[in-house]
Structure 1
């Protein structure tokens, strides 16, 4: 998986950019209406930055570049949150010759911890964590059942998508959406959707 990190980032970036309108529409319903615009701008910046890296750049530096790129170019809360997630993940894979099951799990958990530290959020508050935490739990369960990394990631994607559906049933307590209180029920959280998009894009690429 090591040699494909750069291309995986490209695929994930393009998947998010392709969903710009969807993410914007979702955010217009309960937020500032700029999640899709901001995320697309951030990943367009990421594509440019990773193309400037040397061919033999390791996974840690590639992911660090992604994180820094998102922090510097994505407006709103999403930039610092996703940027921190990628920075934390990059630290886990430093000096790793390959990304195996254990490393992938550690990267996902580190990313989640980074989001929690930065956003002071928990599962059940209608945020990206409602997709990412179930994804991590499903990935972990897959490893315990001796599944390979692709199977574990498939389970994670399905769990993230269920998490997205779950966000429609709960009240937002974080960010701009929290102003709507009970009126936020019935709407998917844009951050949860963008997280699920990234995981699905990664799965489809590895498949």
Structure 2
């Protein structure tokens, strides 16, 4: 069994992420205040709110154009380094969907892998640096392994979401190599990285959307 996501489904996912972020405003802001300047939630909120406002226009596009436009909007609206990183991720993802009409499990892997590579390249970071990569990288690795095993869609989505959440949790015991936490004496040790937490949130919502659309 497979799943099928079209342009409308992807925007439904974006709207669901925006709702999740809104519900977790205080939690995410407090995470960032512990290690940074407290604006991580506000920056992502601006980006996903703008995308939600543009839902009708974006979901009328083909997937490649939609992902490209999402990237451009994120780059323009989200402040700080997050805007550049998310923008780059989506611009790279749009390339793998060129001439493809739907996202199935193989295409979604290609999208997430393209995003990961773009973020690592643009941010000059890698796993273990206490960034959003620490939830995205294990999610992509789990996705690849599950695809190779030929596991069910249910198992794939479960393992990918769990890997992202576990990766985010593991940032608690990392020293920050990038970002404002590097200026702290303890390098953010003992605190979760907010970027990893919000990335894991997005991956969990995405896997839930894929589960919802399986066999359809």
Structure 1 length normalisation: TM-score?
0.93
Q: Which one of the candidate residues 185, 191, 199 is aligned to 1:187?
A: 191
2:161 alignment partner, SS class: helix
Contact 2:32 2:40 in 1 (8 A): yes
Contact 1:173 1:181 in 2 (8 A): no
Q: What displacement does 1:188 show?
A: 0.3
1:184 alignment partner, SS class: coil
The aligned residue for residue 72 of structure 1 is: 76
* Structure 1 runs of 4+ with >4 Å offset: none
Q: Give the superposed CA RMSD.
A: 1.6
2:178 alignment partner, SS class: coil
Q: Tell me whether 77-86 or 118-127 shows the greater mean CA deviation.
A: 77-86
Change (3 A) 1:122 1:181: farther
Structure 2: distance between partners of 1:5 and 1:64: 13
After TM superposition, the structure 1 = structure 2 runs for residues 46-125 of structure 1, keeping only pairs within 5 Å, are 46-53=51-58, 55=60, 57-125=61-129
Contact 2:31 2:193 in 1 (8 A): yes
1:17 alignment partner, SS class: helix
Change (3 A) 1:183 1:5: closer
Number of residue pairs the alignment of both structures matches: 206
Contact 2:5 2:210 in 1 (8 A): no
Change (3 A) 1:129 1:50: same
The aligned residue for residue 40 of structure 1 is: 45
Q: Tell me whether 112-121 or 173-182 shows the greater mean CA deviation.
A: 173-182
Structure 2: distance between partners of 1:146 and 1:168: 33
Structure 2 length normalisation: TM-score?
0.89
Q: Which one of the candidate residues 12, 16, 21 is aligned to 1:7?
A: 12
> Of the two structures, which has the highest relative contact order with CA contacts closer than 8 Å and spacing of 6 or more?
2
The aligned residue for residue 21 of structure 1 is: 26
Contact 2:135 2:163 in 1 (8 A): yes
Contact 1:171 1:181 in 2 (8 A): no
Contact 1:134 1:163 in 2 (8 A): yes
Structure 1: distance between partners of 2:154 and 2:48: 24
The aligned residue for residue 31 of structure 1 is: 36
2:173 alignment partner, SS class: coil
Unmatched 5+ stretches in structure 1: none
